[in-house]
Amino acid sequence: MMPLRRSALVLLISAALAGQATAGNQIYEPLAASVQAGLQASIADMPAPHHGFSRSIDAVNWLTEMSRRLERRIPLFETRLEFLRTVHYEATRSGIDPQLLLALIQVESNFRKYAVSGAGARGYMQVMPFWTGLIGRREHNLFNLRTNLRYGCVILRHYLDIENGNVFRALGRYNGSLGKPEYPNMVNAALRNSWSYDHSASTAPPANSPAAGVANPRPQPVRQETRR
């Protein structure tokens, strides 16, 4: 049987789902008109937030496990659940591993919503304000949860596309330290030590089974490639 604490957390998350229908700084680089238009469209598309899972059981299992891991950093349950649902939705929407996104946020802001860097980068994903004028609207609030994650994911997706899917180099661009290993290695360490997740374990029922949640998480490291 599950520990009582975890069982209660599963019930809380299930109830919530039932109601559903060290940071660096990005560097300003001129964008081709077509690229800018595509990024603007991605920012402007603001559908109602929901998790990105196709099955409710997978959502319950992932949210339960990630909520447990995040509790120390975001103590309020409802705030934590909203954060994780938005993380998963925005990451999935942009074709980014939600676990990688959690690792990046840990390194960038340590899950502080109102974090501000010395250069002015803001929020969970430490988005530089110039992006609002470049691909969004200047009045966009980068301390808003969904706005910050939308911008951060669109920017990271842009860098992944530039680097043909090379996560190590895309992370370097995101941090403004392309070619240096320190930042990608920190994100990789956070992914490996705190956020790796065995998705195959999420197929089991979340209650009445000792195998529910995470079983033997398998790290998915960010591969470092030879510098160009």
Q: How many CB atoms lie within 10 A of CB 5?
A: 9
* Residue-wise pLDDT tens digits, 174-190: 999 999 999 999 999 99
Tally the residues of the chain.
Answer: 228
* CATH code for position 121: 1.10.530.10
* Residue-wise pLDDT tens digits, 74-109: 999 999 999 999 999 999 999 999 999 999 999 999
Q: Which residue has the tokens 């938005």?
A: 86
Which bin fits 63, alpha (ψ -120 to 50), beta or left (φ > 0)? alpha
In the structure, what pLDDT confidence band is assigned to residue 37 with cuts at 50, 70 and 90? low
Total count of domains within the chain: 1
Does 62 reside within a domain? no
Can you read off the two tokens belonging to residue 178? 């392309």
Rounded to whole angstroms, the Cα distance separating 191 from 194 reads 6
From 111, 112, 143, select the one nearest 129 (Cα to Cα): 143
Does 208 reside within a domain? no
Does 77 reside within a domain? no
Does 173 reside within a domain? yes
Does 14 reside within a domain? no
Rounded to whole angstroms, the Cα distance separating 21 from 217 reads 31
In the structure, what pLDDT confidence band is assigned to residue 220 with cuts at 50, 70 and 90? very low
Give percent of the chain with pLDDT exceeding 90.
Answer: 57
Domain that holds residue 160: 32-57+89-200
Does 21 reside within a domain? no
Rounded mean pLDDT, 210-222: 36
List, in sequence order, every residue forming a beta bridge with 127; answer none if it has no partner: 122
* Residue-wise pLDDT tens digits, 39-82: 666 666 555 456 667 788 998 999 999 999 999 999 999 999 99
pLDDT for res 70: 97
Rounded to whole angstroms, the Cα distance separating 7 from 3 reads 6
pLDDT for res 199: 74
In the structure, what pLDDT confidence band is assigned to residue 143 with cuts at 50, 70 and 90? very high
Task: Give yes or no for residue 9 having a pLDDT over 90.
Answer: no
Does 44 reside within a domain? yes
* Residue-wise pLDDT tens digits, 161-172: 999 999 999 999
Give percent of the chain with pLDDT exceeding 70.
Answer: 64
Does 75 reside within a domain? no
